[in-house]
């Protein structure tokens, strides 16, 4: 004697056979990712399925591969407990990271006073060795050449939440000390004398 499945059960089997998922099955939401954010482990349920698309066999996605701005389709396939094939896919968006560049600076003499550094795009934060640069980019070579060169770095986060940074080494030089070549003894009403010193 044949037993007909209830209508709802038959419909559920058809939905699964068609590749639709239910509950928490399938790929968890992923992205967007910044192109410089490093390898990203994608997650799917149940485990043991097969990944395809721009991912490795373990579901690791590398945002640095390809072009920022284009969506990438990742697919995950598995079988349910009845052996029906199921598949889920997501589109992952990769965002471009800001391009950061510090303008050239130095060498600087240790006695020149604080110097304003610049970088693009504007609006980032400065930092550096020994606190020689403040958050606004004002570099002070007062610590002298004994710690030269000084590493300074500039970082910025854009409106998408993507961050990038750049680093610059600034050389600080010893300031020359003036030295009179020969001492002079002058009397009142002597004629004008050219005093020599180094550096000139």
121 pLDDT tier (thresholds 50, 70, 90): very high
C-alpha–C-alpha distance, residues 4 and 168, integer Å: 76
Q: Which CATH number fits domain 7-95: 3.90.580, 2.60.40, 3.30.450, 2.30.30?
A: 2.60.40
CB 59 within 8 A of CB 120: no
pLDDT per position as a tens digit, 170-198: 999 998 776 655 666 767 766 776 666 55
Domain limits of the chain? 7-95, 101-173
Phi, psi (5° rounding) for residue 11?
Answer: -65, -40
C-alpha–C-alpha distance, residues 164 and 166, integer Å: 7
CB 158 within 8 A of CB 95: no
pLDDT per position as a tens digit, 15-65: 333 344 455 799 999 999 999 999 999 999 999 999 999 999 999 999 998
Regarding beta strands 101-102 and 60-61, do their DSSP bridges make them parallel or antiparallel, or are they unpaired?
A: unpaired
* pLDDT over threshold 60, residue 151: yes
CB 34 within 8 A of CB 162: yes
pTM reported for the whole predicted model: 0.69
User: Which residues in 18-70 belong to E strands, given as ranges?
Assistant: 26-27, 33-34, 40-41, 44-45, 50-52, 60-61
Mean pLDDT of 120-145: 94
């Amino acid at each position: 004697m044949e037993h007909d499945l209830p209508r709802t059960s038959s419909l559920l089997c058809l939905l699964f056979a068609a590749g639709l998922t239910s509950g928490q099955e399938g790929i968890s939401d992923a992205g967007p990712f910044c192109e410089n954010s490093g390898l990203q482990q994608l997650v799917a349920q149940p485990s043991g399925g097969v990944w395809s698309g721009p991912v490795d066999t373990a579901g690791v996605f590398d945002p640095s591969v390809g072009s920022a701005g284009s969506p990438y389709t990742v697919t995950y396939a598995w079988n349910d407990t009845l052996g029906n094939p199921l598949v889920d896919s997501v589109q992952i968006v990769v965002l471009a990271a800001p391009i950061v560049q510090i303008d050239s600076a130095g060498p600087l003499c240790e006695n020149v006073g604080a110097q304003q550094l610049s970088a693009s795009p504007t609006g980032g934060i400065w930092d550096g060795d020994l606190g020689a640069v403040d958050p606004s980019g004002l570099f002070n070579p007062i610590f002298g050449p004994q710690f030269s060169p000084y590493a300074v770095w500039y970082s910025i986060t854009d409106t998408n939440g993507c961050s990038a940074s750049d680093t610059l080494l600034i050389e600080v030089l010893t300031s020359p000390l003036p030295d009179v070549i020969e001492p002079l003894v002058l009397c009142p009403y002597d004629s004008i004398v050219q005093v020599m010193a180094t550096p000139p």
